Amino acid sequence: MDFRLTEEQEMIREMVREFSEKELKPKAAYYDETGEFPFEPLRKLAELGLMGMNIPPEYGGSNVGTVAYSLAITEIAKGCASTAVTTSVTNMVAEVIYEFGTEEAKSKYLPKICSGEYPAGAFALTEPHAGSDAASIRTTAVRDGDYYVINGQKTLITSGEHAGVAVVWAVTDKEAPKGKGISAFIVEKGTPGFIVGKNEKKMGQRASSTNDLFFEECRVPKENLLGKEGDGFKISMVELNGGRIGIASLALGIGYAAIDYATEYAKTREQFGQPIANFQAIQWMIADSYTELDAAQLLVLRAAFLKDQKVPFAKEASMAKLFASETAKRVTMRAIQILGGYGYTKEYPVERYHRDAIVTTLYEGTSEIQRLVIARSILGKRLGTYR
| Closer residue to ligand CAA (CB): 205 or 263 | 205
Q: Which of 314, 319, 333, 374 binds ligand CAA (CB under 6 A)?
A: 314
Q: Which of 50, 240, 296, 322 binds ligand CAA (CB under 6 A)?
A: 240
Distance CA 85, CA 92 (A): 10
Cβ contact 222:148 at 8 Å: yes
Q: Which of 172, 205, 241, 289 binds ligand CAA (CB under 6 A)?
A: 241
Closest distance of CB 381 from ligand CAA, Å: 6
| Closer residue to ligand CAA (CB): 122 or 262 | 122
Q: Which of residues 347-386 bind ligand CAA (CB under 6 A)?
A: 363-365, 369, 372-373, 382-384
Q: Which of 5, 15, 29, 135 binds ligand CAA (CB under 6 A)?
A: 135
Residues whose CB falls within 8 Å of the CB of residue 311, separated by 6 or more in sequence, listed in order: 386
Beta pairing class for 270-271 and 274-275: antiparallel
Cβ contact 69:304 at 8 Å: yes
Helix (H) or strand (E) holding 297: helix 280-308
Residues whose CB falls within 8 Å of the CB of residue 324, separated by 6 or more in sequence, listed in order: 248, 249, 251, 252, 255, 296, 297, 299, 300, 360
| Closer residue to ligand CAA (CB): 132 or 291 | 132
Residue 134 is a binding residue for ligand CAA (CB under 6 A): yes
| Closer residue to ligand CAA (CB): 9 or 241 | 241
Closest distance of CB 237 from ligand CAA, Å: 4
| CA dist list (Å): 123 to 27, 129, 210, 211, 238 | 26, 17, 11, 11, 13
Could you give the residue numbers annotated as active site? Answer: 364
Residues in contact with ligand CAA, counted by CB under 6 A, come to a total of: 25
Distance CA 119, CA 34 (A): 19
Distance CA 252, CA 329 (A): 10
Residue 107 is a binding residue for ligand CAA (CB under 6 A): no
| Closer residue to ligand CAA (CB): 29 or 383 | 383
Closest distance of CB 211 from ligand CAA, Å: 10
SS3 347: coil
Distance CA 12, CA 6 (A): 10
Region of 12-20, 57-65, 121-129, 282-290 interacting with ligand CAA (CB under 6 A): 121-129
* Per-position x/- string for 59-98, each x denoting binding to ligand CAA as judged by CB under 6 A, each - no binding: ------------------------------x---------
| Closer residue to ligand CAA (CB): 113 or 276 | 113
Region of 3-11, 48-56, 194-202, 231-239 interacting with ligand CAA (CB under 6 A): 231-239
Cβ contact 289:328 at 8 Å: no
CA 289 to chain centre: 22
Segments of the chain assigned E as strands: 120-124, 140-144, 147-158, 163-171, 182-188, 194-199, 210-221, 225-226, 270-271, 274-275
Residue 167 is a binding residue for ligand CAA (CB under 6 A): no
Alpha helix segments (H runs only) across 175-279: 232-268
Q: Which of 31, 37, 100, 123 binds ligand CAA (CB under 6 A)?
A: 123
Helix (H) or strand (E) holding 13: helix 7-19
Binding residues (CB under 6 A) for ligand CAA: these are 89, 123, 125-126, 132-135, 158, 179, 234, 237-238, 240-241, 314, 363-365, 369, 372-373, 382-384
